[in-house]
């Protein structure tokens, strides 16, 4: 991965508004990321993970792509659709899922471990049958591996496509950095390099199937009030950007044909947004709070 692009310094009023918006999404005024002082996270502050997850455009796109891939597998799809609040409260579910991802990457190790253990306990109660009659359990190791893999793939590919390109070596390092958290979730077989990711996708392909829930999910993500006001008109473009990074063979299975592709001007716009987001410090966002917890400057991840 090449050196970070230089930070864009925004006017004071804009910086304060961004920080206020970030603070509203954090419990306890951000204490979850700022304490205990000096305690490291599951991934190091010099990791690729810390640089990738600081980009909100890539996180939105990558999160949508990850769910598309998850929903290709009927057990995961039924577990999410039947046991979560996603259809009733997509904004709340998205914020909780995003916060969990940020805690996993940026919070102190003890806080991340406690959060993950809580998720594991809740998932112990999630089980049922798919519409096709197959039994599923949320904590099935195979399903856990798939969920962890699709999340890693989605965030990595979104960042590489729309913020800054990542080499195969950087992608493998990113996947390996996620291994400690994956093991805590119970995903002991989650891929730790590009070759392993490709192998898991190939192994899961026979299990994949189309579902109308995929299109319902995409419609919710494109139309619900999920992004800040200035970005909301672009929400549909970001959803299409997510479809574009889903592997072609999975898109074929799900029926996500070329009509979902971005126009060239729209692809260029999303890349511009992703590039800008990679250079703007949100001073009360999880990356900056985590850096300060470790005695680093808030803009540590934005330095060349």
CB under 8 Å, gap of 24 or more: what pairs does 118-124 form?
119/185, 120/184, 120/185, 120/186
State the Cα–Cα distance between residues 100 and 85, nearest whole angstrom: 16
Quick one: which of 173, 209, 208 has its CA closest to 191? Answer: 173
Within a domain: residue 32?
no
* Range of lowest pLDDT (22-36, 243-257, 289-303): 22-36
The number of domains in the chain is 1
User: Using one digit for the tens of pLDDT, what is the confidence trace for 111-154?
Assistant: 999 999 999 999 898 999 998 899 999 899 999 999 999 999 99
Within a domain: residue 240?
yes
Within a domain: residue 3?
no
Within a domain: residue 121?
yes
Domain range for 241: 49-277
Quick one: which of 284, 301, 294 has its CA closest to 15? Answer: 284
Q: For the whole model, what pTM was predicted? A: 0.92
User: Using one digit for the tens of pLDDT, what is the confidence trace for 171-224?
Assistant: 999 999 999 999 999 999 999 999 999 999 999 999 999 999 999 999 999 988
**Does 115 sit behind a cis peptide bond, omega within 30 degrees of 0 on the bond before it?**
no
State the Cα–Cα distance between residues 270 and 214, nearest whole angstrom: 22
Helix (H) or strand (E) holding 148: helix 141-162
In degrees, rounded to 5, the angle at the alpha carbon of residue 301 between the alpha carbons of residues 299 and 304 is: 95
Within a domain: residue 35?
no
Within a domain: residue 283?
no
Q: How far is CA 270 from CA 117, 194, 229, 261, in A?
A: 36, 25, 17, 13
Tokens of 178: 């996620």
Within a domain: residue 266?
yes
Within a domain: residue 11?
no
State the Cα–Cα distance between residues 68 and 283, nearest whole angstrom: 31
């Amino acid at each position: 991965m090449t050196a970070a692009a230089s930070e864009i310094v925004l006017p004071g009023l804009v910086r304060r508004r961004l920080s206020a918006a970030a603070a509203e999404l954090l419990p306890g005024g951000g204490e979850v990321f700022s304490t205990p002082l000096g305690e490291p996270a599951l991934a190091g502050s010099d990791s690729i993970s810390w640089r990738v997850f600081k980009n909100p455009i890539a996180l939105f796109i990558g999160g949508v792509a990850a769910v598309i891939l998850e929903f290709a597998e009927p057990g995961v799809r039924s577990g999410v659709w039947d046991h979560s609040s996603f259809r009733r409260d997509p904004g709340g579910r998205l914020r909780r899922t995003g916060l969990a991802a940020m805690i996993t990457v940026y919070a102190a190790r003890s806080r991340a471990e406690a959060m993950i253990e809580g998720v594991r306990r809740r998932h112990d109660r999630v089980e049922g049958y798919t519409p096709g009659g197959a039994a599923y359990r949320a904590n099935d190791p195979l399903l856990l591996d798939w969920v962890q893999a699709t999340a890693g793939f989605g965030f990595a590919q979104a960042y590489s496509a729309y913020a800054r390109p990542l080499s195969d070596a950087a992608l493998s390092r990113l996947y390996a950095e996620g291994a400690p958290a994956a093991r805590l979730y119970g995903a002991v077989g989650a891929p730790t390099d590009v070759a392993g990711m490709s192998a898991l996708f190939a192994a899961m392909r026979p299990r994949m199937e189309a579902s109308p829930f995929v299109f319902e999910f995409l419609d919710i993500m494109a139309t619900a009030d999920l992004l800040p006001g200035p970005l909301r008109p672009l929400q549909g473009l970001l959803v299409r950007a997510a479809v574009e990074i889903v592997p072609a063979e999975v898109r074929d299975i799900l029926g996500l044909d070329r009509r979902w592709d971005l126009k060239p001007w729209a692809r260029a716009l999303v890349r511009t947004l992703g590039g800008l987001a990679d250079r703007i410090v949100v001073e009360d966002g999880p990356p900056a709070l985590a850096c300060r917890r470790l005695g680093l400057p808030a803009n540590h991840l934005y330095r060349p």
